[in-house]
Structure 1
């Protein structure tokens, strides 16, 4: 197969499995392991980032942020693909059914992905444990109401006052931010768009009345206006090897800058959001990271480490 075909096949394999060893990828693609690394480099040039983990249990995995609707086919690309298929069919008419079916699937996928991208937003790549409390069940019910465009009556607890109010909402979208899931909805009580942290919903009931979502609504455009991002932090870190190798393979902020240092260490600078997620990420790197700035973050990390040490003071 051609390089393009192998790259596409490699993406399909990585999408189907959480992690695949390089040798296994090489066997499936019928190439040498060094070619798998070449394909990885080519995909990263196209903005499809593949994470690498070393060791006996290591391998390649697909960065979830790479598979976004913006990487999907444009209408012009679909049209060009159709022209190419028609041209090819003039020489291989026996493949007409197969190729036309494939083109229809691309068109359908394009429509589905565009719809999904307008109503689902992952502000970070952390997975959330939706099995805690009623969050999982409430999300399923909200999603069902969203799919049918039915209003939902909820009992919601305010974060600031702990007051529980009853209100009718129209689910417009869902957002994962700082390891929590939110429903973005029109609130009839406030007569405005509001965000509801799903874990704070005490109860909900789908209503018979339906609602409509404005055709122009797009959560990607609305997200910056919803109040999630309040105080972005300009973070500067010194990260040692081998953790530095993993960090270099991902994009954590659009203004990210990585400066190589001695012994394969790096100086990492980026504007990041979600203070708790930032601290968990840094603490997860253990002794391989040093916080340079901001000073407040450095103090918070120091405080967290002291509290951790106090839990084990009986050992020394």
Structure 2
């Protein structure tokens, strides 16, 4: 058996076993202890994170970052991976951006020269364009891991109305228009709301859940927000009362001490045609600051009314 094949077999054994002795490897592969130690050094040089424990009960322990066995790609498969990488170029932050860069570097280095030329052309001629955002999202990986591990979060969240503490149960993250969004169950509002991940200033604490909850895939298959757009509206006292009487807005209205209030939340872009009549009816009791599409819709309705009555005394 070749040395490369033997190293691969020992690598797979070490990854599966996690903790083992040189004698166990020697017995498994019918080789000497001295050869085992030499192979372990070779695997360590290749990047397998192995910790050696000395003493009577010593042995080897594979640390948390496992190495996967080598995967053989065809040239077209390798090039297709770089094609997929292109779609990520317009996001300032990714959950595993360091690891993605490492994968890209390793894969590119292993390609023959003609394949590298093809990859370079892909980078020059294909783009998945999105607005280039300069907003940092430092807690992206943390909230993703909290979603996967079924943990609640106590966070400091900054909206346009100021900073507030929130208790949420995240269900996943997704990217849209160059930004990252976190749908999460808000315990105070008792409903799933959408949060901008870049507006999460800090994670104050976490807590585990025993029960299962909706995940992102299930949420996408429901009728929740899919194409987020910012809704920012200033409300008079009457505007607050009217909006709270609408089920879809009830949980979004924030009321101030003087009875006035505001809405500052993300909604589905597809909802704009349906909410335009409501805000038109509210008139001066609701001043829409965002989105522009809603403002344009209100102006169009006002112009239609004015046109209808032009020329009347």
Smaller-chain TM-score range? 0.3 to 0.5
Q: Which has the larger radius of gyration?
A: 2
